[in-house]
Amino acid sequence: MLAEVGYEERLVGYEMSPATGNAPRSLYSFREVCDFLRVGNPEDLLTKGSHSSIGYLDLEELRRWIGSVLGDRDLAEAIGRELEAHKTYRERVDAARELMRQRLEQCRAALSE
């Protein structure tokens, strides 16, 4: 689950910063995706340095990637349910992020990190 995937299996997101427009970013691991996916808020913008833009992902693509590339069908299905339940991009991201955060914690605990 936490291993890096290969080039063909990567997930491409878009770093949306007003300073440079939208820049594609390749993501090679679940950790990188968890770190990347975010919707801006003033708090993040102030405290996260260059990570102060929107980390944009097509959320349907994210769901498929987690299910097929990482093979975590349970998480993919749970994210799918949240995407159905929420309307705006911000709400969907917040819900998906929370599920992903929990899964990352579980993985870390299993690895005793």
Partner 1 sequence: MGKILRVNLTEGRISTIETKQYEQWGGGHGIGSALFWELCKDKAISGFDPRNVVTIMTSPLSGTLVPAAAGRTEVQGIGVQGYPTEWFTRSNFGGRFSAMLKYAGWDGIVIEGKADKPVWLNIVNDHVAIEDAKWLWGLDTWETQEEIWRAVSGSRDFRDWIAAGAGRDGGRTTQRPAVLTIGPAGEHLNRNASLVHDAGNGAGQGGFGGVWGAKNLKVISVLGTGSVEIADPNALMEARRWFASRQYNVDAPAKQSPKDNFSFYGIITRSPAFGPLIFNMTEPCRPQGCAGCYIACRRRTQSGLGNESQCVESLHYSVGGPQTQWRATDLLQQCGLNVYDVFVTDYLRELYKMGVLGPGKQINCDLPFDRYGSPEFIETYTREISYREGIGQDLGEGIIRAAKKWGRLEQDLNSGLLAFPNWGYHEHYDPRLEVEWSYGSILGDRDINEHCINWYVHWMPTVTAMVGEEPLYSAQEMVEIISQKLVPYKDPMMLDYSADGIYAEGKAKMIAWHRHYTRFYKQSMAFCDWAWPDLINVNVPGLEGTTPEAEPRFINAVTGKNLTFEEGLETGRKIWNLDRAIWALQGRRRDQEVFAGYVYQVPTKAPYWLPVYENGQWKYSTNEGRVLDRARFEEWKTRYYKLEGWDPSTGWPTRPTLESLGLGKVAEELERHGKLGK
Give CA–CA dist 45/51, Å, rounded: 7
Contact flag: residue 26 with partner 1 (CB under 8 A): yes
- Closest approach, Cβ 65 to partner 1, in A, equals 14
- Residue span binding partner 1 (CB under 8 A) among the ranges 51-59, 66-74, 75-83, 102-110: 51-59
Closest separation in Å from C-beta 75 to partner 1: 23
CB 57 within 8 A of CB 13: yes
Establish if 113 lies at the interface with partner 1 (CB under 8 A): no
Is residue 110 involved in binding partner 1 (CB under 8 A)? no
54 contacts partner 1 (rule: CB under 8 A):
yes
- What kind and span of H or E run contains 56? strand 54-56
What is the number of alpha carbons within 13 Å of residue 94 lying toward its C-beta? Answer: 9
